[in-house]
């Protein structure tokens, strides 16, 4: 672990922010180059956020322990309220052996009209032996004419595991907006000891055809992906996840598949409330399967 700064003694936390002067509401020509680095350590029976570094517009709230000292909940804040064309956000998370963290965002993300420039988000995660990260950002709204690319790479050590989800709404549907121009790309890679466990690439060009065709959005506005990568799962877990979707009686479309070392759930529909309800159930079932503990909803989701 090296952020090019002196190491701290156990239990201490360093917080450093950029002092650059930026406008409260950037003009079209201004862009954000935000970054955040978090390192979680395990000290005796407690997971601690041992090192924090952030650069505007990203910030970190204090650590929360609604479950136990062994599981650290962290809430990330994007103070600018959204991303415009040319913005780039970089997240770097590392977990020491046996650490367990739950990371989410304080609010839904907004990806505005790109004005010809691409918006990019890069997430890099390293998880050491027997550590566990749950990466659970709130949904993102992709405005018409936005150009957005997300890249997420997870490196797992032996016996480490990662659980994560992404939820996207295309267009401000409450205002009748559809994603008719622009581009959305998402690339997720999970590796263990140099070998790929799951590589997922998605691409949606903003167009009437992509929105309407069955192999596109099929006239839906919301998509979501939930994945847990850690070890081979039983068929019973896959069946439980499928049955939980059926029992909810929701209107969208969903699917569940086994991975080489994990499981994946997909959603396509019209409601972020629907996908969050199902993913929350999937999280609860998978977490109990993985570590024998039920899921603990993050406090900020209930605000």
What is the pLDDT, as a whole number, of residue 140? 96
Question: Which of 14-18, 126-130, 275-279 shows the lowest mean pLDDT across its residues?
Answer: 14-18
> Does residue 123 surpass a pLDDT of 80?
yes
pLDDT confidence of 186, banded at 50, 70, 90?
very high
pLDDT confidence of 303, banded at 50, 70, 90?
low
What is the pLDDT, as a whole number, of residue 59? 95
Buried b (16+ CB within 10 A) or exposed e, 69-81: ebbbbbbbbbebe
pLDDT in tens, 33-55: 999 999 999 999 999 999 999 99
% of the chain residues with pLDDT over 90 = 81
> Does residue 15 surpass a pLDDT of 60?
no
Q: What angle do CA 180, 185, 188 make, to 5 degrees?
A: 150
What is the pLDDT, as a whole number, of residue 301? 83
> Does residue 2 surpass a pLDDT of 60?
no
Q: Where are the domains of the chain?
A: 36-302
What is the pLDDT, as a whole number, of residue 8? 35
What is the pLDDT, as a whole number, of residue 131? 98
Residue whose entry in the numeric block shows the structure tokens 């909940």: 73
Residues 6+ apart with CB under 8 A from 207: 180, 181
DSSP string across 129-167: TT-EEEE-PPPEEE-TT-EEEEEEEEEE-TT-EEEEEEE
Cα–Cα distance, 73 to 67 (Å, whole number): 9
pLDDT in tens, 217-249: 999 999 999 999 999 999 999 999 999 999 999
> Does residue 176 surpass a pLDDT of 60?
yes
pLDDT confidence of 81, banded at 50, 70, 90?
confident
What is the pLDDT, as a whole number, of residue 300? 84
Residues 6+ apart with CB under 8 A from 303: none
pLDDT confidence of 62, banded at 50, 70, 90?
confident
Cα–Cα distance, 139 to 165 (Å, whole number): 9
Q: Torsions phi, psi of 232, nearest 5?
A: -65, 135
> Does residue 252 surpass a pLDDT of 50?
yes
Q: Tokens representing 19?
A: 């002092």
What is the pLDDT, as a whole number, of residue 255? 96
% of the chain residues with pLDDT over 70 = 90
Q: How far is CA 294 from the centre of its chain?
A: 20
What is the pLDDT, as a whole number, of residue 75? 95
Cis peptide before 57 (omega within 30 of 0): yes
Arithmetic mean of pLDDT, 198-215: 95
Contact 257, 269 (CB under 8 A): no
Cα–Cα distance, 155 to 94 (Å, whole number): 10
pTM: 0.88
Mean pLDDT of the chain: 89
């Amino acid at each position: 672990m090296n952020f090019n700064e002196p190491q701290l003694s156990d239990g201490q936390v360093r917080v450093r922010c950029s002092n650059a002067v930026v406008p409260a509401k950037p003009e079209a020509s201004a862009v954000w180059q935000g970054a955040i680095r978090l390192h979680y350590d395990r000290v005796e029976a407690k997971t601690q956020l041992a090192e924090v570094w952030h650069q505007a517009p990203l910030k970190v709230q204090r650590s929360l322990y609604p479950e136990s000292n062994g599981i650290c909940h962290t809430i990330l804040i994007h103070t600018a309220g959204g991303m415009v064309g040319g913005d780039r956000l970089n997240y770097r998370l590392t977990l020491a052996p046996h650490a367990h963290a739950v990371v989410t965002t304080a609010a839904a993300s907004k990806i505005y009209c790109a004005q010809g420039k691409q918006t990019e988000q890069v997430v890099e995660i390293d998880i050491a032996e027997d550590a566990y990260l749950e990466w659970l950002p709130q949904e993102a709204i992709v405005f018409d004419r936005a150009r957005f690319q997300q890249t997420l790479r997870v490196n797992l050590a032996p016996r480490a595991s990662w659980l994560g989800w992404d939820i996207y709404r295309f267009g401000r549907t409450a205002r009748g907006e559809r994603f008719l121009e622009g581009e959305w790309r998402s690339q997720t890679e999970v590796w263990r000891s140099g070998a790929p466990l799951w590589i997922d690439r998605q691409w949606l060009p903003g167009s009437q055809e992509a929105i309407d065709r069955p192999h596109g959005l099929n006239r839906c506005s919301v998509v979501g992906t939930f994945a847990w990568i850690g070890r081979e799962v039983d068929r019973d877990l896959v069946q439980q996840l499928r049955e939980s979707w059926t029992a909810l009686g929701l209107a969208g479309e969903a699917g569940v598949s086994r991975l080489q070392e994990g499981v994946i759930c997909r959603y396509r529909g019209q409601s972020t409330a629907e996908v969050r309800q199902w993913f929350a159930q999937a999280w609860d079932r998978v977490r109990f399967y993985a570590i024998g503990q039920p899921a603990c909803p993050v406090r900020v989701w209930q605000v």
